[in-house]
Structure 1
Amino acid sequence: MDKKISAAVVVIAVVFSIFVLTSPSDPIPLPEPNSNSKSDSVIILAENLDKPRSIAVSDNRIFVTEKDGFIRVIENDKQLESPLAALRSANVFDGGLLGITLHPNFLDNNYIYVFLTYEENGNLWNKILRITESENKLKDAETIFDKIPGSSFTNGGFIKFGPDEKLYVGTGTVSDSSHLPQDLNSLSGKILRLNDDGTIPEDNPFSNSPVYSLGHRNPQGMTWDDNGNLYVAEFGPEKNDEINVILAGKNYGWPEQQCSGGTNFENALLCYDPSIEPGGILFYTGDKFDFEFPFIMASMRASNLYQVDFEEGLSSQKSILSGIGRVRDVVQGPDGYLYVITSNTDGKGFPDANDDKLLRILK
């Protein structure tokens, strides 16, 4: 009886994975899964990535973090065999080597910043490393910010430089029962704002504090619009995923508020119930696509790359890309094209033989 049940579960899983990865209603057909295979819409730049988390794009190079500690390099559309770096990361479900971003003057100083979960004396922590690379190799690595409380499931970990050339960092809560996101003296459940060397900017909203905003659960994506407004996407607890406009010094409610309703907290711009697991987000500013709405959002649980109209809300979402499973991150390259990574090997997806992938979207 047990064997029959197990076989049925396998069959169902296989059928579901085929549907998720090759739905005939896909807005963009995925090319055959051969490295650097091409179609009119998508190019596969890399395959067999292991639990990739975040993308950073330079002129002719793309850097991808893998959760287990590797920074992969794709140069001139070719995946290099050796990683740029192999860092020791904590072996926990949703921690490890997470976010990556390039210094605004990367072409001159070769600075790469990453967010890393590690274990020390039985405790989980997160830190930010500034890596100096040379010819796709690690030349130097310096911890510039440390002792962000860590977790097995909610580390946040998304990092980006803003228009003001300050480094913004999304940190997660240590557990859903923790009230540290409401504690201004804790680095848990915050958006942090740092100088490029890890020091605290003098014009931060709280004196001598890296905290830019508080009351966050698990930030996953970060972007700015043309007016310099900061937006953050974050996971809720199975429901109530949020897109928030982040204002300096404001409180976004977690765990006292989810999405909206509290008089002392900021309300979410968009709230998703049930969860869609938003990933990377961006405002498209290039000339390669004529999007109806410039706000682009990766979604893991909904297995789509969307364009979203804030004024019309959730009903306005239009799919740009589907049929590839879970979509973890999206960035705009200097060439104006979109780059995405899938997230089918993260323990929640149904990977095919060549997952995970880095894709360039052409149209």
Structure 2
Amino acid sequence: MNKKIQIAAISGAILFSIFVLTSSDNETSIPLPKPNSYSENDSVMILAENLDKPRAIAVYDNRIFVTEKGGTIRVIENDQLLESPLATFRTPNVFDGGLLGIAVHPNFSNNNFLYVFLTYEENGNLWNKVLRITEENNKLKDVEIIIDKIPGSSFYNGGFLKFGPDGKLYVGTGTVSDDSHLPQDINSLAGKILRLNDDGTIPSDNPFTNSPVYSLGHRHTQGMTWDDQNNLYVAEFGPEKNDEINLIKSGKNYGWPEQQCSGSDDFENAILCYDPSIEPGGILFYSGDKINFESKFILASMRASNLYQVDFEEGLSSQKSILSGNGRIRDVVEGPDGSIYVITSNTDGKGFPDRLDDRLLRILK
């Protein structure tokens, strides 16, 4: 699984580039599609349009919660986008910060808790915090701070959060800048995977005493998922190359900024490395039986404008496109019925939006 894998790019116009995925065993090429060639059919359904810089999705029963970078939580209920946001937060005007990740509490049916990751400005400095929201009838009822003073940045906040199979809240944070060594500082919350109880307290079995840090040495986390053996996988951006998929182990160091992908016995090696970057987004281990995938891991990609299935054991030679022609794809989650939900990211400043971007899509089969 740790064999060296690379992606080489064939030069050409951005919209019509071809990424060539190579391994030591074979080669395959996947064309980069034109963005915004949307077509609703019996396999893909458009649930919402004109979302403004959407960042993350959380699904509970018949409701889908979507964060928008500018500070709003939108609700799609029974396949209809509600006119009024659930909540609106003030966010700074920075390129890659704002209202980012969102997670639903495992006991949401009883407590109505949602968790969000928010960038804010204080005395000229950028910070991030995780909020616990109590909602009632798709409206904000109460807000509590779960963890605060996560170092912020205009570009590298991470911001992904999910509940694990152990019932703990996992939070992916980013480095402040590419020349920052805070990801290697165990006393800093930057460049880490954090593990918290649902009230923000520190679990007694965390790897570092009295610390929320679960793993360190991360650059810019974008997605996380657990497989059926409760192994945690995280996708993160590299600096124009060396995007990583990492198998996260308690207390381990993943190298940033000292290492990219692999090379040192002092750090954990990435299980997949993308060179050049495909800008991985959300990641999902598909546990349903509604859709017959060859590989259970599903990966959203922004720069490569695809939703992929990939077998981490077999490497990039197993990677195949599930969905293309929709431009940048930022997040992917599984619904309770086995459907897959994705959001596009064409209004994020890097895409080619049309008048109806961005969209929430459901993959039905």
Name the TM-score, length of structure 1 as normaliser: 0.91
| Deviations 1:72-106, CA, capped at 9 Å, x for gaps | 00000000000000011121000000000000000
For 1:204-223, what aligned pairs fall within 5 Å after superposition? 204-223=206-225
Q: Which residue of 2 aligns with 1:8?
A: none
What SS does structure 2 have at the residue aligned with 1:205?
coil
Q: Which residue of 2 aligns with 1:173?
A: 175
1:99 maps onto 2:104 in alignment: no
| Deviations 1:237-287, CA, capped at 9 Å, x for gaps | 000000000000000000000000011000000000000000000110101
Q: Which residue of 1 aligns with 2:253?
A: 251
| Contact in 1 for aligned 2:33/2:305 (Cα 8 Å) | no
| Deviations 1:25-66, CA, capped at 9 Å, x for gaps | xxxxx42xxxxxx51111100000000000000100000000
Q: Which residue of 2 aligns with 1:21?
A: 35
What SS does structure 2 have at the residue aligned with 1:43?
strand
1:15 Cα deviation after fit: 9.8
Is the alpha carbon distance of 1:143 and 1:15 closer, same or farther for their aligned partners in structure 2, counting shifts above 3 Å? same
Q: Which residue of 1 aligns with 2:68?
A: 66
Percent identity between the aligned chains? 79
Q: Which residue of 2 aligns with 1:306?
A: 308
What SS does structure 2 have at the residue aligned with 1:145?
strand
In 1, the alpha carbon distance for the partners of 2:34 and 2:221 equals 25
1:22 Cα deviation after fit: 5.4
- Which among 332, 337, 340 is matched to residue 339 of structure 2? 337
1:291 Cα deviation after fit: 0.4
Q: Which residue of 1 aligns with 2:292?
A: 290
1:186 maps onto 2:167 in alignment: no
Q: Which residue type is aligned with residue 86 of structure 1?
A: T
- Which among 249, 259, 277 is matched to residue 279 of structure 2? 277
For 1:30-179, what aligned pairs fall within 5 Å after superposition? 30-31=38-39, 38-179=40-181
In 1, the alpha carbon distance for the partners of 2:255 and 2:212 equals 19
Would you identify which runs of 4 or more consecutive aligned residues in structure 1 move more than 3 Å?
12-16
Q: Which residue type is aligned with residue 308 of structure 1?
A: V
Q: Which residue of 1 aligns with 2:262?
A: 260
Structure of higher RCO (CA pairs closer than 8 Å, 6+ residues apart): 2
Name the TM-score, length of structure 2 as normaliser: 0.91
| Deviations 1:195-216, CA, capped at 9 Å, x for gaps | 0001101110000000000000
Q: Which residue of 2 aligns with 1:359?
A: 361
Q: Which residue type is aligned with residue 161 of structure 2?
A: I
Is the alpha carbon distance of 1:169 and 1:13 closer, same or farther for their aligned partners in structure 2, counting shifts above 3 Å? closer
Q: Which residue type is aligned with residue 21 of structure 1?
A: P
Task: Give unmatched runs, 5+ long, in structure 1.
Answer: 1-11, 24-29, 32-37
Is the alpha carbon distance of 1:15 and 1:352 closer, same or farther for their aligned partners in structure 2, counting shifts above 3 Å? farther
In 2, the alpha carbon distance for the partners of 1:280 and 1:121 equals 32
In 2, the alpha carbon distance for the partners of 1:197 and 1:337 equals 30
Is the alpha carbon distance of 1:194 and 1:355 closer, same or farther for their aligned partners in structure 2, counting shifts above 3 Å? same
Q: Which residue of 1 aligns with 2:4?
A: none
Q: Which residue type is aligned with residue 135 of structure 2?
A: E
Aligned residues between the structures: 339
| Deviations 1:174-196, CA, capped at 9 Å, x for gaps | 00000000000000000000000
Is the alpha carbon distance of 1:253 and 1:14 closer, same or farther for their aligned partners in structure 2, counting shifts above 3 Å? closer
| CA RMSD after TM alignment | 1.5
Q: Which residue type is aligned with residue 234 of structure 1?
A: E
Q: Which residue of 1 aligns with 2:242?
A: 240
Q: Which residue of 2 aligns with 1:199?
A: 201
In 1, the alpha carbon distance for the partners of 2:275 and 2:301 equals 14
In 2, the alpha carbon distance for the partners of 1:63 and 1:221 equals 16
Task: Give unmatched runs, 5+ long, in structure 2.
Answer: 1-12, 18-31
What SS does structure 2 have at the residue aligned with 1:20?
coil
In 1, the alpha carbon distance for the partners of 2:350 and 2:234 equals 23
What SS does structure 2 have at the residue aligned with 1:21?
coil
| Deviations 1:150-177, CA, capped at 9 Å, x for gaps | 0000000000000000000000000000
In 2, the alpha carbon distance for the partners of 1:94 and 1:19 equals 24
- Which among 303, 321, 334 is matched to residue 319 of structure 1? 321
| Contact in 1 for aligned 2:131/2:143 (Cα 8 Å) | yes
Structure richer in strand, relative to its length = 2
In 2, the alpha carbon distance for the partners of 1:312 and 1:113 equals 34
1:311 Cα deviation after fit: 2.6
